Amino acid sequence: MPSDSADDPRLGDVSEGTVLRAILARTPRAAAAIIGPGDDAAVIAAASGTVVATTDTLVHGPDFRLAWSSGYDLGWKSAAVNLADIAAMGARPTALLVALAVPRDMRVSFVEQLADGLRAACEALAPGCAVVGGDLTVSDVLTVAVTALGDLEGRDAVTRGGARVGDVVAVAGELGHAARGLAVLFGKFRDQGTPIAVVTSQLAAGERSALDAQLRPAPPIGLGVMASVAGATAMMDISDGLALDARRLAAASDVTLDLVRSALGEDALLALAGGEDHALLATFPPGVLPPGFRIIGSVRERVDEGVLCDGEPVDVSGWDPYRDWDSTTG
């Protein structure tokens, strides 16, 4: 990051147009964009006659800390969490719209890095998808609201409501990895004055990979389409932890999911409670399992509890790591 302020003005000292041009210069054209950024609205191809749409916001404090996340990290994560919602419908992401609210005293380079992170996440996780529009405003609280659009390519959407008794329960992607990364941040970097890039070099490899999963999650976006093609009966992404999100899928489908503890990895509790991995949770008819998914349980007739683990109730609540966050103490 440039340290010379003359080369890197604060947002409050330049026009909105200057900042938007700097961002657009870093924004590739979306493959599906018929009209890209720069007009009143973008026009995106939706050849199959429907469009999938979702929105998810990251707010400084409740959702991230600038002491821990770079602009690049923030751009990456804000793309990834939205791409996962599109994938969870069995759709291919086509375009992002990004509404940025940024404090006046932030550097233009921070916003450029954020644009780079958005671009890199799209290129890595959903090739062809890119930013097609946005909005920039000032705010005392850094806020990134992303809307993602996707194309079902003629398939029906895979909702949360289609799981059937006898289906297998499967996941693609990590469970509890991002939560482990957050524990590393809270444990080793709380009130840390040293730049995080310097200190991460002292972490063990496993800790570093968990940190990456927290700051730059890489959910298996392409497997959403694969799951749909293979015949997934229900699907969602796991943002608030397996236990809570599986309960939501079970409720929508009016079934109970019986998970197998030994299939949840070394730390089953972390896998059940830890959020923010954005792994895909899906149910498939018996005998069907596309590459990339692993079986973690089975679908039973509905009982009182929506989720069981080895036949027993699961005593894990949802994911809200910043619940006690206070803006006055940071």
Residues near a second copy (CB under 8 A): 34-35, 38-47, 49-57, 59, 61-63, 84-86, 88-89, 91, 95, 97-99, 101, 132-135, 137-141, 143, 145, 147-150, 152, 157, 159-161, 235-237, 252, 327
Query: b/e map of 175-197 (b: 16 or more CB within 10 Å)?
Result: bbbbbbbbbbbeeebeeeeeebe
Distance CA 319, CA 327 (A): 20
CB of 278 to a second copy, least distance (A): 10
Q: Is 277 helix (H, G, I), strand (E, B) or coil?
A: coil
CB of 130 to a second copy, least distance (A): 13
Identify the DSSP state of 292.
T
Q: 62 or 222: whose CB is closer to a second copy? A: 62
Report residue 279 as tokens.
Answer: 């792994």
CB of 260 to a second copy, least distance (A): 24
Please report, to the nearest 10 degrees, the dihedral formed by the alpha carbons of residues 278, 281, 287, 289 taken in order.
Answer: -10
Q: 122 or 210: whose CB is closer to a second copy? A: 122
Neighbours of 54 (CB within 10 A): 20
CB of 62 to a second copy, least distance (A): 5
Q: 64 or 196: whose CB is closer to a second copy? A: 64
Q: 62 or 265: whose CB is closer to a second copy? A: 62
Distance CA 177, CA 160 (A): 23
How many residues in the chain?
Answer: 330
Distance CA 324, CA 143 (A): 19
Q: 196 or 249: whose CB is closer to a second copy? A: 249
Q: Are strands 307-309 and 255-259 parallel, antiparallel or unpaired?
A: parallel
Contact 132, 95 (CB under 8 A): yes
Q: 184 or 246: whose CB is closer to a second copy? A: 246
Beta-bridged to residue 98, according to DSSP, are: 134, 146
CB of 243 to a second copy, least distance (A): 15
CB of 290 to a second copy, least distance (A): 18
Q: 97 or 268: whose CB is closer to a second copy? A: 97
CB of 46 to a second copy, least distance (A): 4
238: phi > 0 → left, psi -120 to 50 → alpha, else beta; which? beta
